[in-house]
Structures are given as structure tokens and as C-alpha cells.
Amino acid sequence: MRRKPIAIWFPQSAGKAEDELVIFVDLAPTVLNLAGIFIPENMQRRAFLGTDLRPARDYVYASRDRMDERYDMQRAVRDKHFKYIRYYEFTKPFVQ
């Protein structure tokens, strides 16, 4: 399974490519970091652009519990090469 890329354009870094694991919740701390605003300690995840960055992570984790009125419990972990998805409700059809 291929990773889904995130494309961000900045004039000073045109043509530069990074191979870092990022997830959607990394976006808020990244925007704060680029704006020069202090990132609160209780904010989840990490900034992936700007200054004073934490080291890149080796793994990202994901979960899924509810889709509207239905329960659909899944957990996932991935690194740069592999993705493992655990589907806990295998008695339900995988149609959501």
C-alpha cells in the first residue's frame, strides 16, 4: 500500500522533498510554528516545518471507532515501509 503524500508549497523551499511520516493532527502545530506562535505543551503531535523541530518519528498510529451511528473499531500502525491494520469487528462486512 502506498503512502498518501501531503503537498505543501513555500517559495523558499521550492523543489525540496521530504520523506517524513506526518499525520493530519501535525498540521496545527506546524502552522503555529511557522507563524512564530508558541506551541502549547498539551497540543498533540509535532510541527514538521519551521524552526526548533523535534526529531522525526519512526511510526504513526491511527484509529477508527465510530462512523456516524455505527461502530467500526480499527487500529493501525505504520512506518516508512509497512502498514498494519487490525480490524476488530471482522463479523461485520467491510463496506463502510
Host H or E run for residue 62: strand 60-67
| pLDDT tens track for 21-78 | 888 888 899 899 989 999 888 988 888 888 888 888 899 998 888 777 777 788 999 9
Distance CA 96, CA 91 (A): 13
Element (H, E) at 66: strand 60-67
**pTM for the predicted model, two decimal places:** 0.69
